[in-house]
Amino acid sequence: MTVACVKRAFKYRFYPSDAQAAELSRTFGCVRKVYNLALAARTEAWARQERVNYNRTSALLTAWKRTEELAFLNDVSSVPLQQCLRHLQTAFTNFFGKRAKYPRFKSRKRSRKSAEYTTSGFRFRDGRLTLAKMTEPLDIVWSRPLPEGASPSTVTVSQDSAGRWFVSLLCEDVSVQPLPAAGQAVGVDVGLDHLLTLSTGEKIANPRHERRDRAHLARAQRSLARKAKGDGANRVKARRKVAKIHARIADRRRDGLHKLTTRLVRENQTIVIEDLTVRNMVKNRSLARAISDAAWAEFRSLLEYKARWYGRKVVAVDRFFPSSRLCSHCGIVSERMPLDVRTWTCEDCGTTHDRDVNAARNLLAAGLAVTVCGAGVRPQRRTPGGQSATKQKASQREP
């Protein structure tokens, strides 16, 4: 399996000077303003049954810069402003393709602060990055080297809610190549008691990152709740403290998931998972916090793109497949299996199963069947009494 050269983003933290921070903050504000103006113009045009594309909004941007009210848009680099119009065009393309909801306006308090620069908006020489409208390079902490000979095609600068500054450099990484073929295949069952259970019987503990900091987070949130509403310095300081705790939790979670997914991709040729609808599952108020902390959706996302990079295959089994209730030894399907039942004994063959290991083995069997025979194929299931479901239906048709 051949893979084209992969474009990979390398994210680093940097520490701007006061002048650089002020310039970037102005740029973030202008990007948000232009995005909202363009979205409003496209929405009004759509109500009049007119089509407005990227070229039209680009012409509008030129006109806005000439007005006295929006003359401040000329004070920042034009590249991030043009890029935000391209992002809006992509958002509408996804909306009309029914892949996303209608684009929403950016908020000063809630939306991500970021600006994207293409090659005309930055200079990268000898490991030093200088953005447009700046005279000094950014003070970047190079926590890992860029690929040898790599030259960034896009640079994205962002600031998170904890006040940390990041720069992401998009480069072609020639080192990402398909791994040698491995004969291993594994079924993966996600859970809460254990984050992952493999069909090999191995169980990976759930680190429960949010629970470890829950008391610390609760104190910080109570302190924030006592501060007067508004943009006062004390409230900003308390909000920043809460954001730092959330950021630390998210960083630890992401780091653990990266290590797990990299290991699974390196060791196995085929990885079978369950096609879960996490968005619906978090509506369960009793389990929403634990499910969100486990980050099942992020786990799948990381696993899938790493599998594409390294020539592996990820198979998602239908969410209605009874992996927990199906006996992996004889094929009997149990009628009920409450969540508190962690081990059970098959009524037909007498095999005692660990619920999660049994589910992982059934997922593996189903995934291999899909790989060999095509989508929709499932392992043959038997009903109590020893007959397979197919044979039982045939016997019922006999006179």
Question: Is the model's pLDDT at 387 over the cut of 50?
Answer: no
How much is the pLDDT for 319?
Answer: 85
How much is the pLDDT for 164?
Answer: 96
Examine the domain organization and report whether 169 and 189 are in the same domain: no
Instruction: For 238, list phi and psi in degrees, rounded to 5.
Output: -70, -40
Confidence of residue 393 (pLDDT cuts 50, 70, 90): very low
Q: Across 34-38, 169-173, 176-180, 372-376, which has the greatest mean pLDDT?
A: 34-38
Number of domains in the chain: 2
Examine the domain organization and report whether 316 and 352 are in the same domain: yes
pLDDT tens-digit map of 286-300? 999 999 999 999 999
Examine the domain organization and report whether 313 and 340 are in the same domain: yes
Look at residues 18, 130, 115, 49 and name the one whose alpha carbon lies nearest to residue 76.
115
Here the CATH number for the domain that contains residue 322 is 3.30.420
pLDDT tens-digit map of 51-101? 889 999 999 999 999 999 999 999 999 999 999 999 999 999 999 999 999
Question: Maximum distance among all alpha carbons in the chain?
Answer: 90
Instruction: Strand 113-118: give its sheet, edge to edge.
Output: 113-118, 154-159, 165-173, 6-14, 140-141
How much is the pLDDT for 375?
Answer: 54
Q: 154, 167 in Cβ contact below 8 A? A: no
Examine the domain organization and report whether 15 and 117 are in the same domain: yes
Confidence of residue 16 (pLDDT cuts 50, 70, 90): very high
Question: Is the model's pLDDT at 396 over the cut of 70?
Answer: no
pLDDT tens-digit map of 220-242? 999 999 999 887 899 999 999 99
Examine the domain organization and report whether 267 and 305 are in the same domain: yes
Residue 219 located in a structural domain: no
The H or E element that residue 369 is part of is helix 355-373
| Radius of gyration in angstroms for the set of CA atoms belonging to the chain, rounded to a whole number | 26
pTM of the predicted protein model: 0.84
Examine the domain organization and report whether 166 and 190 are in the same domain: no
pLDDT tens-digit map of 242-277? 999 999 999 999 999 999 999 999 999 999 999 988
Catalytic pick among 23, 173, 274, 293: 274
**CB atoms closer than 10 angstroms to residue 123:** 13
Q: Which residues pair with 115 in a beta bridge?
A: 157
pLDDT tens-digit map of 310-329? 999 999 998 888 888 888 77
Catalytic pick among 189, 318, 348, 354: 189
22-46: average pLDDT: 96
Residue 226 located in a structural domain: no
Question: Is the model's pLDDT at 377 over the cut of 50?
Answer: no
Can you tell me whether residue 78 is helix, strand or coil?
helix
Examine the domain organization and report whether 64 and 137 are in the same domain: yes
Examine the domain organization and report whether 79 and 32 are in the same domain: yes
Examine the domain organization and report whether 77 and 147 are in the same domain: yes
Q: 273, 315 in Cβ contact below 8 A? A: yes
Q: 111, 159 in Cβ contact below 8 A? A: no
Examine the domain organization and report whether 191 and 165 are in the same domain: no
CA dist., res. 360 & res. 362, Å (int): 5
The H or E element that residue 123 is part of is strand 122-125
Task: Return the percentage of the chain with pLDDT > 90, whole number.
Answer: 66
Confidence of residue 176 (pLDDT cuts 50, 70, 90): confident
Examine the domain organization and report whether 114 and 258 are in the same domain: no
CA dist., res. 331 & res. 349, Å (int): 9
Q: What is the DSSP letter of 143?
A: S
How much is the pLDDT for 81?
Answer: 97
Does residue 274 carry a catalytic annotation? yes
- Give the range of the structural domain holding residue 197, as residue numbers without chain letter: 185-205+252-373
Return the structure tokens found at 133: 């409208």
Does residue 189 carry a catalytic annotation? yes
Examine the domain organization and report whether 18 and 130 are in the same domain: yes
pLDDT tens-digit map of 102-154? 999 999 988 999 999 999 999 999 889 999 999 999 999 999 999 888 899 99
